Amino acid sequence: MKIEDQPLHALTAVAVRDAIGQGKATAVDVAMACLDHIETIDPSIRAWVHLNRERARQQARAADEKQKSGRAGPMAGVPVGVKDLFNTYDMPTQMGSPIWAGFSPGNDARVVHYLRMADVVVLGKTVTAEFAVHAPGPTHNPHRVGYMPGTSSSGSAAAVAAYMVPVALGTQTAGSTIRPASYCGVIGFKPSFGLVPRTGMLKTTDTLDTVGWFARSIDDIELVFETIRVKGPDYPVTERALADVSRRRRADRPWRVGVVHGPKWNDAEPYAQCALLEMADELQKENDVEIRHVELPGEYALVHDIHSVIYDRA
């Protein structure tokens, strides 16, 4: 089955939501298409540590029933992958470690709960580095088997890049969202601290850890953000900032894009430096984009050492 010449497993989250809402597909159709695709290609990529086909079917049926009754949530029927650091009441949470094999916490992490309230279909748990630290998992880069997909959120990034799910949750302490996103060629979003709750997930360093997620479109990133971010009077600073329409507009200014030559710039391979600079040149051709090349102050040369001190001490 296809929607506008796209197989169901290749649709974005927004496209899935719209197709189900318009009656062009069912949540069961989409979930089974994704699981069939996973069954075909994941033996070589190994992005998943736990899948439950029957449980996914049950969630999808529930989403379809809500759709029929007009009670569907904003992400009804969207398949989601969850990094194996987040608690899930109906699946093991093993944190990438054989020590915790088969462990079930019996509850959902806050962000997983918010996603379920929006009627997503949680297909399963994605591979993480052991305890989200340095020991890599078994996942391969979907663009070239045998190559690294990034660090601890590797399973989620690879699953999105390989069209197994449209969106997947990850986490970041240093670069565990932005690095796998870069390696796998998808969008990785690391929000500001305090915008997304971390209750019910493994935190390796309380002052640095952030919930992140992966998608293949900006609209999907926004959809997840609005679903799982903190809301309401208990979060007055966040609510006030996000309700300020002026902060969401550029007015008459151009988009300003900073190209940062950071403390590790000279450690990058020449091809990587060239790729970044060529992208900046392409953006500069747009009428409403202003490129600024930024040299950071010398103090930033210490940033990686400082991060390590904070991490190790915490």
By annotation, the residues acting in catalysis are: 83, 152, 176
Task: Determine the Cα–Cα distance for residues 116 and 250; give it in Å rounded to an integer.
Answer: 34
CB 133 within 8 A of CB 152: yes
Tokens of 248: 């969401």
Task: Determine the Cα–Cα distance for residues 243 and 24; give it in Å rounded to an integer.
Answer: 34
Q: Strands 48-51 and 167-172, how do they pair?
A: unpaired
Interior angle at CA 45, CA 41 and CA 145, nearest 5: 110
Q: How many secondary structure helices (H) and strands (E) does the chain include?
A: 10, 10
Judge residue 285's burial from the number of C-beta atoms within 10 Å of its C-beta, 0-12 exposed, 13-18 middle, 19 or more buried.
Answer: exposed
CB 182 within 8 A of CB 150: yes
CB 187 within 8 A of CB 145: no
Task: Determine the Cα–Cα distance for residues 132 and 153; give it in Å rounded to an integer.
Answer: 8
* H-run or E-run covering 294: strand 289-295
